[in-house]
Amino acid sequence: MKGLATALLFFGLIHVAAIAGPLEMSLGGGPSVASLDAINESIGLFNALIAHLNETFDVHPGVTGSVAPISPIGGGMYLHAAERYWLTDWFALGGHLGYSRSSASTTGFYEGAEISEISVDLAFHSVDGVLGAEATFLDVGLRLSAFGGVGYYYVILDRKTVFEIPEEYPDVIAGVPPNGEGRYTGGSIGFEGGISLTYPVAPWFMIGSRLTYRSARIAELTDAGANVLDLDGDGIGEPISLNGLTVELTVSIDIDLSLDGRKE
């Protein structure tokens, strides 16, 4: 959280500095995908166990029911608000705040001598504060720019897991994930870069798109009791890989706050 607070402080300083010259403010949103490879590996183990139970009880005379597999997690919508202070016609400093969310879940029951529930519910949230620079290298009515930055990425993962194996299962089964629920958090420094395409509808209003690649990795997430996130119960916490891509549509306004009121 200290890293996020620092990013927010610098973001505020950029805002104050921008009163001396042209300021671009923008909002954007679009699809985003993060790797979350370790989380998705755990989901793969859950699905293998669910498929095995479905196959077993599909031919078992004393048990009915089935459970749907869990979809991968990591894809969702990304929203951001940004400010850029154009030092020249082609170079700007700025920052942005962003938020994304992704989820995956399944719920099902096996009915034998008793009703056994299998339920997995994962909700992933990511907040980022990024400081960076943008440079325009082609301006022919459409403005093509490259950008990059460094920031702090803060993650929240809510999880609830229930795996009840029917007593009719004919053998001891291994690899059953631990039951439980909780909220796990963590953060890390990361980097991002990409390209943007902007079209000026009016001298003060622009629409555009941005393609961003993000690289960030959080070693582990912990809950309020400092317990490490361990979805599959193997005793090793899952790291969080935020590596991925975001594609956004943006709208921007250009505000001249210079003292003489002239456009740069």
| CATH number of the CATH domain containing 238 | 2.40.160.20
Number of domain units in the chain? 1
Residues 175-233: pLDDT tens digits? Answer: 889 999 999 999 999 999 999 999 999 989 999 999 999 999 999 999 999 999 999 98
The total of other beta-carbon atoms located within 10 Å of residue 105's CB is 14
pLDDT given at position 6: 52
Please give the Cα distance from 146 to 132 (Å, whole number).
11
Whole-angstrom CA distances from 13 to 8, 239, 262 are 9, 33, 23
The pLDDT score that the predictor gives to residue 169 is: 87
Indicate whether 187 belongs to any domain. Answer: yes
**Rounded to whole angstroms, how far apart are CA atoms 242 and 15?**
27
19: DSSP letter? G
Distance (Å, whole) CA 129 – CA 7:
6
Tell me, yes or no, whether 248 lies in a domain.
Answer: yes
**Is residue 108 included in any domain, yes or no?**
no
Enclosing domain of residue 196? 2-57+70-97+116-256
Residue 240 to residue 73: CA distance in whole angstroms: 12
How far apart CA 237 and CA 89 sit, in angstroms, is: 48
Residue 211: which residues within 8 A CB-CB, separation 6 or more? 194, 195, 196, 245, 246, 247
Closest among 55, 99, 59 to 76, alpha carbons compared? 99
Asked if the structure places residue 210 within a domain, the reply is yes
Domain for residue 170, yes or no?
yes
Lookup: tokens for 155: 């993650």
Give the Cα separation of 124 and 126 in Å (integer).
Answer: 7
pLDDT at 119 over 80: yes
Could you tell me which residues come within 8 angstroms of residue 156 by beta carbon, excluding any fewer than 6 positions away? 124, 125, 126, 183, 184, 185
Asked whether residue 156 is domain-assigned, the answer is: yes
- Rounded-to-integer distance, Cα 242 and Cα 155, Å: 9
Q: Say what the pLDDT of residue 61 is.
A: 84
Beta bridge partners of 51: none
Instruction: Give all strands (DSSP E) within the chain, no chain letters.
Output: 22-34, 75-86, 91-111, 115-140, 142-163, 180-202, 205-218, 240-241, 244-256
Residue scoring higher pLDDT (261 or 232): 232
Looking at the DSSP bridge assignments, the partners of residue 52 are none
Which one, of 199, 247, 252, 215, lies nearest residue 29 by Cα?
Answer: 247
Average pLDDT of the residues of the chain = 90
Does residue 139 register a pLDDT over 80? yes
- The answer, yes or no, to whether residue 20 has pLDDT greater than 70, is no
Q: Is the residue at 193 inside a domain?
A: yes
| For residue 15, pLDDT beyond 90 | no
Report the sign of the C-alpha dihedral through residues 239, 11, 135, 195, in that order.
Answer: positive
**CA angle (173 as vertex; 179, 162 as ends), nearest 5:** 20
Residue 154 inside a domain? The answer is: yes
